[in-house]
Amino acid sequence: MEERETFGLMGRLPSNMQTLEEQVERAYEQFLAREGDLGKNTFMTGLKEQNEVLYYRLLQDHLKEMLPIIYTPTEGTAIQSYSRIFRRPSGCFLTITSPYEIESSLSNFGNPQDIDYIVVTDGEEILGIGDQGVGGILISVAKLALTTLCAGIHPERTLPVVLDCGTDNKKLLGDELYLGMKRLRVRGKEYDAFVDAFVKATGMLFPRAYLHFEDFGVGNARRILERYKGERACFNDDVQGTGCIALAGIMAGLHICGVALGDVRIVVFGSGTAGIGIAEHIRDAIAVEKGKGKDEAAKQIWCVDKPGLLLKSQGENLTTGQVQFARDDSEWQDKAHNDLLQIVKDVKPHVLIGTSTKPKAFTREIVQEMSRHVDRPIIFPLSNPTRLHEANPQDVYEWSEGKALIATGSPFPPVEYQGQRYEVAECNNSTAFPGIGLGTVLCRAKLLSDKMLVAAVKAIAAQSPALKDPDKGLVPDVENVREVSVAVAKMVIKQAVQEGLATQEGIPEDDRQLEKWLRAQMWEAKYRPLKRI
């Protein structure tokens, strides 16, 4: 009542003052009343614009139900419909034809100390649905919502950005309501100069900000990350986040199987940004585990793409990332290297990972072939959205006679096989990238090092429910994501301090004090007292 009087709100509100919990109850009923997932997604977008505290508290109370609505797979549909369902802008829109406006545009969003976390995309490879042009801004918005929800990054200290470089999506180019630049994508030197100008401008305007690259095209994602990761704290979720969470699941699975990481054989089906990112994380972990060089460790991984197994003879057709995993042709003379079943027969892998967006690629024959050679085949159909997954978990359990250890890229309900109930773990990056970002932001790390990422993987793997019960998920459930993020951030900070990369003063050395210090800085969805200034 005092606040109503102070701010001149008397008569503007109903007399009954309700708690946040009561408001959440009302909002949830309104959410359920919306028709279809896209309708629910649009409702949540509107709620976020009206009342951020209520939006995040509603998500927090119904996280597992609502995550597929505000993120994959429904957010992909919203992005495809961006120009049609547009109501108001959110984030920063930068256009390649106006590079001279980058600095002034970014400066509208705060002073040097105001921004902690930036997510930027160019919209070329969005959530398995391809080039979405300026609609990619919604993936930047969604990712930042997850950093707040899952790790307590303050929502007012984040900045979503889209780099509008045109689009090769013919449907968008022909749409009179499309809000982006209507021309084919600009590439080459002009594109690189635009990205460089953006990175330099953010470094100058927001020197403490952590830079998160999202859904760049396969030809640019890794290249851009490699270009800037030695200069500032930056991260690419498709390359590093996917690799972290997949590796955490694999480590938990190998623990159940009793197979050492240094002895594992892995086939990665789909050698784009995500697949190669996962392969790199596994390779680096094997190298550390066995004290091998990275080239030697890479020999335990077989990467497959559209032409088949990656071979050195494919030369210029291989991307920079793929070259690292190309096999000697002599190994595959007189063998069918373009047939996944035959590759599985020859390699006898412990682990099969799908990042191909090729539906039902993991057939009965492939799963049964794996099951003949290893006691507990580890099978990860990670492509999303759901319609693009390589195999249905129910089928994999039946084909493997309940022996498979499974994690997926999209949510699936528990599976029942011969009276036994199995939980299907979701390799959701939301249990990885928010905690990594939180740790990097709070310690003000100069760089995000490989060892900091390994520390994050170990923190996630240590919380695998399957370590206590093999029928549980291989990676932590998103319902526990805030606690997972705390564990991840703590390990990231400790590693940054050890490497001399942390610049924040006063970071506690004691584990308990560090956790207390960390939690105290995490934003929570609750109303604060208001004062007139």
Dihedral angle sign, alpha carbons of residues 300, 306, 310, 316:
negative
Q: Which of 48, 55, 56, 71 is catalytic?
A: 71
What does the CA dihedral 369, 372, 377, 379 come to, rounded to 10 degrees? 10
In this structure, which amino acid lies at residue 332?
W
Q: Helices 511-520 and 481-499 meet at what angle, rounded to 10? A: 120
Task: Specify whether 71 is catalytic.
Answer: yes
The DSSP output letter for 512 is: H
Pairing of strands 234-236, 210-213: parallel
Q: Which of 48, 143, 229, 494 is catalytic?
A: 143
CA distance 126 to 162: 12
CA distance 238 to 221: 8
CA distance 305 to 310: 7
CA distance 409 to 429: 9
What does the CA dihedral 105, 106, 111, 115 come to, rounded to 10 degrees? 150
Residue 219 neighbours by CB under 8 Å, 6+ apart: 319
CA distance 285 to 279: 10
Under 8 Å between Cβ of 118 and 206:
yes
Under 8 Å between Cβ of 445 and 233:
yes
Query: What are phi and psi for residue 53, nearest 5 degrees?
Result: -60, -50
Look at residues 428, 448, 491, 433 and name the one whose alpha carbon lies nearest to residue 249: 428
Contacts 24+ apart (CB under 8 A), 415-419: none
Beta bridge partners of 92: 161
**Which tokens go with 483?**
């606690």
Residue 524 neighbours by CB under 8 Å, 6+ apart: 152
Rg (CA), the chain: 23
| DSSP letter string, 413-476 | --EEETTEEE--EE--GGGTHHHHHHHHHHTTBS---HHHHHHHHHHHHTT-GGGT-TTS-SS-
Burial of residue 57, with CB atoms counted within 10 A of its CB: 0-12 exposed, 13-18 middle, 19 or more buried: buried
Give the catalytic positions in this structure. 71, 143
